[in-house]
Structures are given as structure tokens and as C-alpha cells.
Structure 1
Amino acid sequence: MCPSSVSSSGAGAKPSPDSPWPVREVNQKVKEWIERLGHLWVEGQVTQVNAKPSWRLSYLTLRDPQEEASVQVTCSTSLLANMATPIKDGDRVVVYGKPAFYAGRGSFSLWVSDIRHVGVGELLARIEQLRSQLFAEGLCDPRRKKPLPFLPRRVGLITGRGSAAERDVLAVASARWPAVDFAVINTAVQGANAVPEIVAALQTLSRTEGVDVIIIARGGGSVEDLLPFSQEALARAVVDCPVPVISAIGHEPDHPVLDDVADVRAATPTDAAKKAVPDVQVELDGIAGMRDRAAQALRGWVRREQQSLEALRSRPVLADPCASIEARREEVLRVTEQMRRQVRHTVASASAEVSSLRARVSALGPSATLARGYAVVQAQPKDGQAPFVVTSFEQAPPATQLRIRVADGSLVAVTMASKPAD
């Protein structure tokens, strides 16, 4: 069967193993189907420009800034030459064209008749829209952000090759902490390849042993230059990174979306180095200051304790422990002497009183009377009763035994007779 017969027989029939379509038939049908799409507007980022003044046609590659997708663009060289701002890699553009399929090579491209740069105002509006979306999802919440380590074992750095940002970060960090260790990955920091390369470097550093913090640094630039750092893919990659990320993009006025989702925002790459590692001299000065304050506090405490001990030692009870005992001893001796004097005085007074009473008793008692010649007569009853003093003659009838007591002794007599007084 000749090719012509196959083509004629299979043109209207469904292909099968017995009657397949030739390549030209397939390409032609694809071409017809694609060309029915008509003209349309497409937005993307220019990643490659192949153009020469001597060429009739120029070729571009248009990339989706959010996904790994691209399309070939074909346009007249005069269209590029007549643009007010020349097209370069990394530009965000909107093109107007018609999908086309070249059947001879089986390739697809977009035939473009108009190319327009995306305005800065529109870019800023899209950035703000993305920023609002990320805030609404809570990805910019400060409570979600991870704290930076005080002294990282290794610092990951993502920046452009040979850039001023890289030199600033390394120089400042080394000056602050000479022993700092860096793991540097150089990537594109603008243009179509910036986002995928930075995301890949971020994933690599997050898996690298010892990397405790990652710095994404780039110097200043226009809104278009800094556009990769406001892309959603990079923002979400930073949110998902398990290692704290410092955003150091541009200068203080620059504010890409990366600054909002990063764990720490640095005003400049130099500021990022200062935030990532401590200043060894400041820390040493701080340690020295704390040691001085601790020593002063210790000396002050010792001095106060010494003063307290001196005060305690100066108290009488410690200066002369026996003084209080001696004072009490003297007091006891004094009280004892007072007691003795009081007892002697009491005894003397009592003795004097006893002597006085004795003298009075002696003066008034029977002994004194007996001494003056008087006698005491006692009768001795015969019936065994106790003797008694005779005060009446009737108590001593004749033959009564009498005991007569005189001053120096006693006499025994018997009553011869008894009679009353005259």
C-alpha cells in the first residue's frame, strides 16, 4: 500500500493499527485544531530573547512566574525594535497573539503581534493583593515566626554570585564573630530563573547539617528587579522552611512580600549579618561587665558581712563574754551582803527585844520578888495530886507538907498551925 492510498483511505476514518495516520496528517489536524483558538492575551515573564537586526523574526520564551511552565513566542524583529523600552530577561509582559503549530517540525509557538510591559502600578497592586492573601491565611502572623538562635553553628546564605550583598554579609558577620561558618549558595536574584533557583537553594540549606539560620540577600533595585521576592511560590517556600529565614532584600524603603513571611526582616544585607550573629566584642564586653558587677556585688556582700561581724563582735556580750557574768556576780554578792546585813539587823533587833523582854520579865517575875526576900509556898498533897501554890491559910492545915521556894533554893516544912491574918 502506497502512502497516498493510506492518506486517502485514512483521512476520514478513525486511525487503527491497520489504517494509521501518517505524521503529516496528525500535525495537520493538530494545526487546524490549535488555530481555531483565535487571538488571545497572555501574561508572563521573559526568560530568553533571541533577536538580531538582520533577522526577520525574533524568538522569546515566556515563562509563568508561579509554575514551571513556558511557551515559545515568535514575533517580528521590527516589533521588538520599535518598543519604547527594549525587552530583556526578567521583564513582565502581556502579549497579544495567536497560537500556531508548525506542522513541518511539529512545534508549537505563539505568534505575537503586540507586546506590552506590565506597569509598575499593576505590579504593585498584584503584590498588595498577594500580601493581603497571605495575611488573611495567617502566614504573616508574628506568633508563627521562629526565633533566631543566639549563636548559629552555620549560617546559610542565598544571594547572587559575586554580589555586594554577599560581600557585605560575609564581611560584617566575620568581623562580628570571626569563627562564624557560612554555607553559601549563589542563585539568580532577578529574572525568570530567580524564584526556582532560590526555592531549590532554600530546600537544600534547610536539609544541610548544622545550618541554624538562612539569609536571603539582595541589593537594591527597581520594582521589576525585586519582583521575584514578591512571588507566591517563594513566599510559601519560606513559610514551609523549618529553619528560621532572614529576609534582606534591597534597602529600608523596599518591602517585598518576602519581608512579611520571613521570620525576621532585615533593612539591608549588612543588618541581616548583624541579626544573624552576635558581636563577639560586645559579648566579651558584656561578660566583662557582668563579671565586674558580680565581683563588686561579691565584694560589697563580703564588706557588709564583715561590718555585721564587727558590729556583733563589738557588742558587750561578745567583746567580753565574762563581763555580764561578772556584773551578775557582783550583783549577787551585793544582794547577798544586803541580805546578810538585813538578817544581822533583824537578829540584832530581835535579840535586843528579847533582852528587853527578858529584863522586863525578870523585873516582874517571881525570881526578882524572891530576891527581895519573898518566898513561894507550895503545898504537897498526900493524895498524889500536883503541888499548888498556897494563897490562903485554909489550904495548908496543920501537918501539911510544904515546899518553900526562896531566891537561892527551896525549903521543906510541915504546917504546925494555921490562922487567918490579923
Structure 2
Amino acid sequence: MLYLEVPFSQKELAKQQGARWDPLKKKWYIPDADNIDLSLFQAWLPLTEIMPEIMPDLQPGLVGDSDFSNPNRAEKNSLSLSQLLSQVQIKLQSQFPKAIWVRAEIANLNERRGHIYLELSENNDQGQTLANCRAMIWASTADSLLAQFEKTTGSTLKDGQKVLVQAQVNFHEKFGFSLVIQDIDPSFTLGEIEANLIAIRQRLIKEGVYQANKQRELARDFFRIAVISPPNAAGLGDFRAEADRLQHLNLCEFVYFHSAFQGEQVRDEMLAAFEAFDALHQKNAFDALVIIRGGGAKLDLNPLNQYELAKALCAMPIPVLTGIGHERDNTILDEVAHTRFDTPSKVINGIWQQISQQAKRAVDNWQRIESGALQRLQNATAHLSQLKQQLEHNQARSFSYWQHQLAPLFAQIQSRSQQQLGQNKVRLDSLIAQVYRQAKQPIARLKTDLLAHQQQVEASAKKAVIFYRQQSQQTLSFILSSGPQTQLKRGFAMAKTDANQPISSAQQAAKLNEFSLQFTDGELRVRPVQSQSNKTH
């Protein structure tokens, strides 16, 4: 079993080559090293496995079972540092005789005397550094390589870019390991950062939403603004210093939402902040959404370059103002936002200016309205005064005229009214007398008929009462004559058990040893006697 030094980013490749994972030591290993071609795993072999190959000229006994208990012998078999590093140099040159293509990220870049010195690195998904080394572009090729790279990608070579370079492996006894860059592939462009930006931009343009938020009409005045930022961002303090003044003056309300702007949680937290903003916007609308962070390294801003975030921002129902970084920093969120500011301070200054301009415009408008209203009021007052005088004059003339016209008409109406009133009074008295006579005759006839019907009803009622009284007496007498005492008087007897229950059949009486017979004048106890026919049976 041979353990390997496998970087996290290369674990899948090692697994494909046949390596296995040891969960206890948390390392990859070769299960059967003696029967496997170790050249497949050369990049991950530990130094102890490489040493015999890179030092073929060492004397026997230097490695392995050397007897270091003898100082003279150990010194005799040892190498100086320069000799060891020279052997390493020879071995590397033999293993990498030609330039190879290498993928890496530029961690640092400097220019001295026309030469470009770089620090290349490789990080895993958790941001841990897996490898780094020095590299350089000599002045003889630097100008042509950088010019071609900038022409193709539209960007200069700078920190934070992931590049694909053709490099010659170089090792120096004094300066150590480095790469001499001979060519740069422009198609690799800006690595994941710029390539991702281009891909997102083209996708949004294809979907027709890239300019959606820019087409939103910016409010003429701000009364309520939503702000999304990291909870402890330096730019947030600068922003709030001015925003709090606006809110204290009741000029504009600011509602803050927080989200991470770095790390793997950016997407989930930012989308959650968008959802929280939308929920409040539905209840009480905002005038604008502000996204601020403050300056930072370009790599720190890369988590914001995500398609889901950019599309969500394009679909925002109100204009979005961004102040995520400095002038040199740009994200896809800046591109699709309605307005991009360099810093959070410039965002709040822009809001201040908009509110101030609107306030000045409102003051000017108010003054014009006040002046115009005063002039109109004066004109209306003069006009009303003139109309009042004219109305009073016309009213007096009309009153005099109609008073003169109505006096004879009033006398004529009064005379005719009195005449009509007398005639109608005589006619009304005659009609009342006629109605009284016509109503009196049928009432008398009806009264006579009513008395006759009343007498007839009283006679019929008396006869009915007498008849039903006789019927009731007869029925009562019949009922009383049908009782037990009446039947006993007629010569009948009633058989009863000891429980005073009637005996209704001979069969029932035959079953009793003794029972009672009740007569009209008393009772007798009797015993049943079986008949002759019953005895024979």
C-alpha cells in the first residue's frame, strides 16, 4: 500500500487511475504498488518515492540501509545542497524537456525592467491553496504576448485572472522552482470570472431581459428605499451616515436587508433577501432597491456573478441602484442594474441629489402656484364685486317691474277664488245631503234582516242544546247500566282469582284448585269438579 499526495481538485483523476481513499488517514493510496505502473501516479508520489529516480548517480548505501552510526562514512556518502539541487534540476529537465500547457490563477503580477513576474496558484472549491509557484515572462516576449491577450480578450493581464499558459519548467539551485511562460491562450480569457460574465451576459441578452431594469422609469422623488448589503460592510456605515439623516428628517424611509457577498452562501442568502424585499414591496411599495457592498478584491466579488442573481435583478419591479465596488470593479449585477455607482457613498449622494432637486423643484412649483393663485384670487374678487353690484341693480329693477305686473293679477285671482269657493260650497252641501239619504235606506234594511237572523240563530242554538243534553243523558244511563253491578243484578256471577283478576274461560278455571264467584249480594269460594269425560281420560 503506497500513499499519495493528491490535491482535492485532482481526486477524480486519481480515482480513475486506480487510487483508493483511506477514510482513517484521509489520504489516497495505491492498493497494489508492485503491480501498477507508478508513472501514472508520478505527480502525486511522496518525495521518498521520487528520490531514488532523481538521484541515479548517488553512491550505494546513501539511501536505504546506510549506516549513519559511522560519522565518517555518513559524511563520505553525503551530498552538498547544491549537488542535490543540481540533480533535481537535471531530473526535471529530463522529465519536462518541452514546454507544457498549465492552468493556473494569477495571484500576483509585477513588472520590472520589461520583465513580467507572476505568482501562480491553484485553489480548491473551499478556497484552500493547493499549489503555487513563481513564473515570469521575459521582456523579449512580454509585449507581443500581452498585446495579443488584450486584443483578443479586451482585458489586460491582471490579478485574479485564471489563465492557460504554455510554460517551460525551470529549476535553479539558488532561486528554486519556476515557470517561464512562452505563450498565453487568449481563448481561455479571464478564466471563470470573465468567461462566466460573458456567458451570463449573452444568456440574458438572448432571453431579452438584459436591459429590462434599465428600462424602468426612475422615480422623480424617493420616499421609501430598500437596501441589501452585508451586515458589517464598511460601505454600509458610509451609506447609513447620510441615509439616517434623510430618515430623521422624514424625507425618505430606508429598510435594510442583509446577505453575504462572499462565500458559497451568497446565492441562497441573496435570493432570500430578494424574496423578503418582494414580500414587503407587495404590501407597501418601494421606490428603488439599492445593493451596496464597498470595495474589495476582484476575486471577492466573483460570487456575485451568478445567472440566478442577475436574472432576478433584471426582473425587479422597480429600478435597482448598485454601489458594489470601486471604479475598477464591475459585476454582472452592476451591468444589469438601472444605475451603477462606484461606491455606496456615491449611491446615497445620488439619492440626496434627487431628493434635493425634487425639493427645490417643489419649492419653485409652490411659489409659482402661490403667486398664480394670489393673482387669480384678486382677479376673481374684483370680478365678483362687479357681478354683485350688477346683480343688486338688476334685482331691484326686476322686483319693481314684477311687483307692478302682479298687483292687478293678484286682485283678479282673489275675486275669482272667492266666487269659485262659494259655488263649490253650495254644491258640496247638496252632495252631502244626497249621500246621506242614499246611505240611510240600505242600512235600515240590513238592520231589519240582521235582527231576524239573530233571532233565528238564538232559537236554533237553544234547540241544539236541549237535543244534545238529552242525548248525553241517555248515553250516560246506558254506560251506567252496562257496569258489573248491573250485570250481577240480572243474575250473572263473575269468577275471580285470588289476585282479584277475572277468569274468562273454563279451561283457565279448571287449572285452579279454588277461586271466587262474586254475586250481587256477596262472594263464594268454589272448587272445580272434573266432568265424567275428563275422568275417563
Give me the TM-score of the superposition, normalised by structure 2: 0.36
The higher relative CO (CA closer than 8 Å, separation ≥ 6) is in 1
Rg comparison, structure with higher value? 1
More helix by share: 2
Give me the TM-score of the superposition, normalised by structure 1: 0.44
